[in-house]
């Protein structure tokens, strides 16, 4: 029952997606270089129920989000799901199986504490000193009393984490999100948020004092892998768990809404 | 910091080897990964079977008790129930007892490219006991999988009673349509029941090596309850399981009536104002933003979602639209999946073979405009009319939709003492007269609780008492 001759994961449909995903990856690199290519979604031949849509041209469809890169985005979404299923999740499940929950939480807190550097710089860049100082205080308290950030002492005392990133900073100063963009492995984003992420990473790497420590944290292959595993462990999102053929549309819609909310906050 | 063999600090040596380009690439990549968690963790309150307790089984462990509004009324209680809000201290199923089982009733059937993620077969959620015990099959409600909160709660209640549990997605869930439906057009009870019985037999064959089964029981919720009644009837003729107990929870009495009621929950607003859904979404997100702004942390936690729910718990129109819209998304999922599988040419041309890169946004927009009745009368029934070999015709004077009613198998339900049902006086899927008809069919084997809307009494003490009595030993 359900037994296959081929090893799991390399059945024909999956292989097609892997190929498409790789094609999309190459495409992304090409995009990054030319910076101005739009890939239209493949045509279905005749457009879907045209007569129904045409009579309602004035209607607003909340689910509609500007998505000029849709063809690439959808392929990458499927590729990410595949990578998640066959690479990331098996590793994460092994990690969760081996380590006690207590240890998993300490690891998460350790990396979340490092994120306070990003929260602080972006609080400053948004001209919101209260957020920047919250992040600095949290970092100071948790790095010391919280044993290198593994315990969220500051949070227990009522100073809860407020995540800020450079995408939000740009949004706060009026930069539009730009087209929706699905990044390889990392998932949903926009052109603005991708710029923000790149900027955040550079500041987080080069800004902090004590270069020896940050070097150890960021450039030790073991820590690098642990960090990636912890990230996926913290994230409960599972591709295709909605069971909806329109999951991409729902995720795209909710991602844009969620970023709006975060920028407003 | 540990030193490498040459006396150079390891990280620096690693850097020297890989060079500065790698370093910069990593500098960009790692935080990208970091922010993934924040980004992808989106709530999908209305996307079919997802909910704030979204995520796979392992993630549900250690879930803090949600703080849900305590309001009453059928709408509030229905939504609270769907969010798993009545259950506070249900014992966890240990990880060692949990598993996902896959069955492939039609292994030779090609899976369309678009549905590649269903190619492993139908996923069943299994809770296993380590001693001889009954095996209970639980059938999920419209558009739901085995991961949806309502059936997860029912499964846990049963597991706590010492039973093995197998949760089966609804035949109306896209995964079931693609992998386990013989006709691809669920909604006809007789063919759905045959599909379900086939899945159950395959599940038993796989499980029989792992657990010791003393007897078989069957539970269904909502549309799944009607399915359970028809599976029970089919089994009474085929004797595959000889269920010792069948429990129907909030069944529709006549599917035709229930469809009209649920379809109208959204329709009555969109008919008056085509932009009703847009305004609804704006209002909800404005409320969401308001609650989120006051939240002490920037995490979009279930508390924020539940806080938004609390904010609107007296807005009858919004609650009704939420239920209507969430149902409508399930219908769009089902109708489009059926259309792709049957090549009916309703949403996309019959000869189209959409792939993973095709935009489905226009299809989704059109799909959301269609009701469950549109699916039944515009897709399912015409397809079956073109394929008379798939299903026995309805008796003269009746349609296949009218056949989907408890009265169709009334004599069987009336005479079988092992079948019992629980519903609520204010269940929103029951039309006037339905409750009376159910009473006349089931007699005192029907328990009617005073409140709870649709599924909103599950986990409440009065429900649990009736349920435990009906399910037997």
Q: For A24, what's the count of Cα atoms within 13 Å in the CB-facing half-sphere?
A: 28
Residue B145 domain-assigned? yes
Tokens 């910076």, located at residue: A35
Residue A53 has pLDDT above 70, yes or no: no
Contact A241 B55 (CB under 8 A): yes
Q: What is the mean pLDDT of residues A76-105?
A: 91
Q: Tell me, yes or no, whether B290 and B165 share the same domain.
A: no
Q: What is the pLDDT of residue B319?
A: 86
Residues of chain A in contact with residue B1, where contact means CB-CB under 8 angstroms, are 212, 216
H-only helix segments in chain A: 12-34, 50-54, 70-83, 89-98, 101-114, 116-125, 129-144, 153-156, 166-172, 191-206, 211-219, 221-234, 247-264
Q: What is the pLDDT of residue A39?
A: 36
Measured over the CA atoms of residue B394, residue B396, residue B399 and residue B402, the dihedral's sign is negative
Tokens of B419: 């079948």
Q: Which of A17, A64, A228 is the closest to B361 by Cβ?
A: A64
Q: Tell me, yes or no, whether B86 and B191 share the same domain.
A: yes
Contact B27 A201 (CB under 8 A): yes
Q: What is the mean pLDDT of residues A74-103?
A: 91
Task: Provide the residue range defining the domain that includes A223.
Answer: 71-264
Structural domain count, chain A: 1
Tokens of B190: 């007789």
Q: Tell me, yes or no, whether B243 and B341 share the same domain.
A: no
- What letter does residue B49 receive in the DSSP assignment? T
- For A2-25, the pLDDT digits (tens) are 333 333 333 334 445 555 555 555
Residues of chain B in contact with residue A205, where contact means CB-CB under 8 angstroms, are 27
Q: Tell me, yes or no, whether B75 and B199 share the same domain.
A: yes
H-only helix segments in B208-315: 223-238, 255-272, 276-294, 302-311
CATH number of the domain residue B243 falls in: 3.40.50.1820
3-state secondary structure of B82: helix
Q: What is the mean pLDDT of residues A162-189?
A: 89
Question: What is the value of pTM for the model shown?
Answer: 0.82
Residues of chain A in contact with residue B120, where contact means CB-CB under 8 angstroms, are 2, 8
Q: Mutation target for B interface from A118, A245, A260, A264: give the one with most B CBs within 10 A.
A: A245
3-state secondary structure of B216: strand
Contact A212 B114 (CB under 8 A): no
Contact B300 A160 (CB under 8 A): no
Q: What is the mean pLDDT of residues A146-175?
A: 86
Tokens of A189: 């984003």
Tokens of B202: 């395959």
Q: What is the phi/psi pair of residue A37, to 5°?
A: -120, 135
Q: Tell me, yes or no, whether B270 and B227 share the same domain.
A: no
Q: What is the pLDDT of residue B281?
A: 83
Residue A234 domain-assigned? yes
Residue A253 domain-assigned? yes
Q: What is the pLDDT of residue A58?
A: 63
CA–CA min distance A181, chain B (Å): 12
A 123-142 residues with CB < 8 A to B: none
A52 vs B280, residue with greater confidence: B280
Q: Tell me, yes or no, whether B429 and B365 share the same domain.
A: no
Residue A204 domain-assigned? yes
- From the list B99, B102, B100, the residue with the least C-alpha distance to B180 is B102
At A57, is the pLDDT very low, low, confident or very high (cuts 50, 70, 90)?
Answer: low
Residue A30 domain-assigned? no
User: Average pLDDT of each block of 10 consecutive residues along chain B (473 residues)?
Assistant: 36 35 42 37 32 33 52 83 74 84 94 92 95 96 88 92 95 96 94 96 94 96 96 96 96 93 89 83 82 75 76 84 88 94 90 88 87 90 90 77 91 95 94 94 94 89 92 86
> Strand B122-127 relative to strand B133-139: parallel, antiparallel, unpaired?
unpaired
Complex prediction ipTM:
0.80
B403 and B367 Cβ atoms separated by less than 8 Å? no
Q: Tell me, yes or no, whether B72 and B199 share the same domain.
A: yes
Residues of chain B in contact with residue A128, where contact means CB-CB under 8 angstroms, are none
Last residue in a domain, options B386, B419, B443: B386
Please give the distance of CA B395 from its chain centroid, rounded to a whole number: 31
Residue B317 domain-assigned? yes
Residue A215 domain-assigned? yes
Minimal-distance CA residue of chain B relative to A111: B34
> Strand B213-221 relative to strand B164-168: parallel, antiparallel, unpaired?
unpaired
Residues of chain A in contact with residue B173, where contact means CB-CB under 8 angstroms, are 243
Alpha carbons B283 and B273: distance in angstroms, whole number: 15
Q: Tell me, yes or no, whether B81 and B203 share the same domain.
A: yes
Q: Tell me, yes or no, whether B246 and B359 share the same domain.
A: no
Most confident of A20-34, A47-61, A224-238, B446-460: B446-460
Q: Mutation target for A interface from B9, B20, B21, B35: give the one with most A CBs within 10 A.
A: B35
Q: Tell me, yes or no, whether B114 and B209 share the same domain.
A: yes
Q: Tell me, yes or no, whether B169 and B269 share the same domain.
A: no
Contact B359 A41 (CB under 8 A): yes
Q: What is the pLDDT of residue B51?
A: 33
- For A192-208, the pLDDT digits (tens) are 999 998 888 887 777 66
Q: Tell me, yes or no, whether B211 and B320 share the same domain.
A: no
Structural domain count, chain B: 2
Last residue in a domain, options B327, B353, B386: B386
Task: Provide the residue range defining the domain that includes B342.
Answer: 260-386
Q: Is some CB atom of chain B closer than 8 A to the CB atom of A144?
A: no
Tokens of A250: 């729902």
Alpha carbons B470 and B473: distance in angstroms, whole number: 9
């Amino acid at each position: 029952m359900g037994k296959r001759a081929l090893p799991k994961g390399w059945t024909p449909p999956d292989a097609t997606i892997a190929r498409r995903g790789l094609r999309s990856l190459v495409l992304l690199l090409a995009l990054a270089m030319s910076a101005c290519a739009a890939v239209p979604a493949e045509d279905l031949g005749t457009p879907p129920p045209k007569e129904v849509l045409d009579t309602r041209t004035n209607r607003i469809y909340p689910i509609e989000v500007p998505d000029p890169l849709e063809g690439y985005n959808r392929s990458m979404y499927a590729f990410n799901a595949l990578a998640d299923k066959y690479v990331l999740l098996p590793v994460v499940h092994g990690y969760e199986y081996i380590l006690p929950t207590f240890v998993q939480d300490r690891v998460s807190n350790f990396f979340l504490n490092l994120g306070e550097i990003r929260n602080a710089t972006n609080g400053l860049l948004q001209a919101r000193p209260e957020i920047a100082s919250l992040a600095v205080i949290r970092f100071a308290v948790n790095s010391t009393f919280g044993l290198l950030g593994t315990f969220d002492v500051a949070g227990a005392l009522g100073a809860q984490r407020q995540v800020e990133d450079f995408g939000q900073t740009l949004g706060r100063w009026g930069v539009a999100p730009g087209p929706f963009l699905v990044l390889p492995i990392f998932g949903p984003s926009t052109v603005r948020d991708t710029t923000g992420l790149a900027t955040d990473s550079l500041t987080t790497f080069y800004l902090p004092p004590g270069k020896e420590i940050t070097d150890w944290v960021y450039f030790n292959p073991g820590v690098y892998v642990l960090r990636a595993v912890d990230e996926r462990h913290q994230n409960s999102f599972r591709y295709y768990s909605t069971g909806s053929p329109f999951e991409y549309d729902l995720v795209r819609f909710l991602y844009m809404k969620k970023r709006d909310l975060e920028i407003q906050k | 910091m540990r030193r490498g063999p040459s006396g150079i600090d390891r990280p620096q040596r690693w850097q020297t080897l890989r060079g500065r380009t790698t370093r910069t690439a990593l500098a960009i990549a790692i935080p990208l990964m970091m922010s993934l968690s924040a980004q992808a963790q989106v709530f999908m309150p209305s996307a079919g079977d997802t909910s704030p307790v979204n995520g796979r089984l392992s993630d549900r462990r250690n879930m803090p008790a949600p703080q849900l509004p305590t309001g009453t009324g059928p709408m509030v209680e229905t939504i609270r129930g769907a969010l798993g809000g009545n259950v506070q201290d249900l014992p966890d199923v240990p990880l060692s007892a949990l598993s996902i089982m896959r069955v492939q009733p039609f292994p030779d059937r090609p899976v369309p490219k678009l549905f590649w993620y269903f190619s492993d077969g139908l996923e069943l959620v299994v809770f296993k006991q380590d001693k001889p015990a009954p095996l209970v099959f639980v059938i999920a409600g419209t558009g739901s999988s085995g991961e949806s909160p309502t059936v997860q709660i029912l499964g846990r209640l049963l597991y706590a009673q010492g039973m093995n549990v197998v949760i089966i997605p609804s035949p109306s869930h896209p995964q079931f349509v693609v992998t386990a439906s013989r006709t691809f057009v669920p909604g006809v009870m007789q063919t759905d029941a045959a599909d379900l019985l086939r899945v159950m037999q395959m599940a038993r064959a796989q499980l029989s090596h792992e657990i010791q089964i003393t007897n078989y029981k069957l539970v269904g919720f909502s549309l799944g309850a009607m399915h359970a009644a028809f599976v029970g009837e089919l089994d009474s003729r085929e004797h595959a399981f000889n269920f010792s107990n069948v429990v129907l929870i909030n069944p529709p009495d006549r599917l035709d009536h229930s469809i009209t009621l649920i379809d109208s929950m959204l329709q009555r607003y969109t008919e008056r104002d085509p932009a009703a859904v847009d305004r609804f979404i704006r209002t909800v997100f404005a409320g969401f933003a308001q609650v989120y702004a006051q939240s002490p942390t920037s995490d979009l936690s279930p508390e924020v979602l539940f806080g938004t729910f609390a904010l609107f718990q007296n807005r009858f129109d919004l609650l009704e639209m939420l239920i209507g819209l969430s149902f409508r998304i399930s219908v769009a999922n089902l109708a489009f999946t059926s259309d792709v599988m049957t090549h009916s040419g309703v949403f996309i041309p019959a000869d189209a073979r959409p792939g993973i890169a095709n935009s489905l946004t226009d299809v989704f927009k059109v799909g959301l405009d269609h009701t469950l009745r549109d699916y039944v009368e515009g897709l399912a029934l015409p397809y079956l009319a073109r394929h008379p070999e798939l299903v026995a015709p309805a008796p003269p004077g009746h349609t296949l939709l009218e056949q989907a009613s408890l009265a169709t198998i009334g004599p069987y339900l009336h005479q079988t003492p092992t079948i019992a049902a629980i519903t609520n006086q204010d269940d929103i899927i029951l039309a006037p007269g339905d409750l009376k008809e159910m009473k006349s069919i089931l007699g005192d084997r029907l328990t009617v609780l005073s409140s709870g809307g649709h599924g909103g009494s599950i986990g409440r003490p009065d429900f649990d008492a009736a349920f435990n009595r009906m399910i037997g030993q």
